[in-house]
Amino acid sequence: MQIGLIGLGAMGGGMIRRLVGAGHDVVGVDLQEAARARAREHGARTAADPAELLELITGPRVVWVMLPAGEITRATVRRLGEVLQPGDLVVDGGNSDFRDAPGHAAALAEHGVRFADVGVSGGQWGWQNGYGLMVGCEPADHAELAWLWAALGTDGGASRVGGVGAGHLVKAFHNGVQYGVLQAYAEGFALLSAHPEVDRVAAMQAWQGGSSIRSWLLEQIVTALQDNPDLEDVSTRISDSGMGRWTAEEAIRLAVPTPVMTAALHARFASRSDQVGNKLLTAARAQIGGQKS
């Protein structure tokens, strides 16, 4: 099958590798020649812009947008509506605000172009392990793209979670949950650090080795701590992608109590303040929270 992929950064570049590995014809689009060169090394064809992309794949086209959330994604979706043909389909796989999806779908529909929003989890290791895909689209579009979900997703990890907008909604909540889980791990590490007689790395390895709190996140934490058990040169400031904020806003709108997720988001805000006192705790948060989702 053929697919165009716009945005060849860490996530988009990894998807190129997985799609090509599954035998599909991929045309990657990126403003940076270095990114296009990497895509070609992994077996993809490349184009400099969406107009050139249209000349390299046949309809009905599937174009996956993997760009940072915000205006760059909005502008790209608008541009695709102008150049694609009726029957083509645009997938927004970035960490976009779920509230943008209905507008994208409506604007593209004026040109006869279909739309799907897909929340993607798996980070820089997704190209090896497969991605978790939370798909929002019409049932017929989901069935038509079964080959795509099979190529990118883990076994059982690609699910249609609802109509347009549901994919990014579920991914936002996923990130909110992740904030809370990471905060708990960081606080556990801080408590272990208060006991110098305890081997902190060995303790977290034990947690990962079959215990009830084991997880893919904890596996990444243990790997990071093995290389840097004292968190040397780790910044104490933690950024947030915006998804935790959107989750908190939706919880407030619906009056659904989410104290753990909201407190974890506020802990990230606090990490950017000079008033935060516990270096071990904030460094742990930065180390753990810095893992890409």
- Residues marked as catalytic: 171
Q: Three-state DSSP class for 52?
A: helix
In which element (H, E) is residue 3 found? strand 2-6
Residue in 36, 8, 225, 221 with CA at minimum distance from that of residue 127: 8
Are 270 and 281 in contact by the 8 Å Cβ rule? The answer is no
CA–CA dist 82, 127 (Å, integer): 31
Are 172 and 243 in contact by the 8 Å Cβ rule? The answer is yes
Residue in 293, 271, 275, 80 with CA at minimum distance from that of residue 172: 293
Would you give the DSSP letter of residue 138? -
Contacts 24+ apart (CB under 8 A), 262-268: 263/180, 263/183, 264/176, 264/179, 264/180, 264/182, 264/183, 265/176, 265/179, 265/240, 267/183, 267/238, 268/179, 268/238, 268/239, 268/240, 268/244
Residues contacting residue 216 through CB under 8 Å, at least 6 positions apart: none
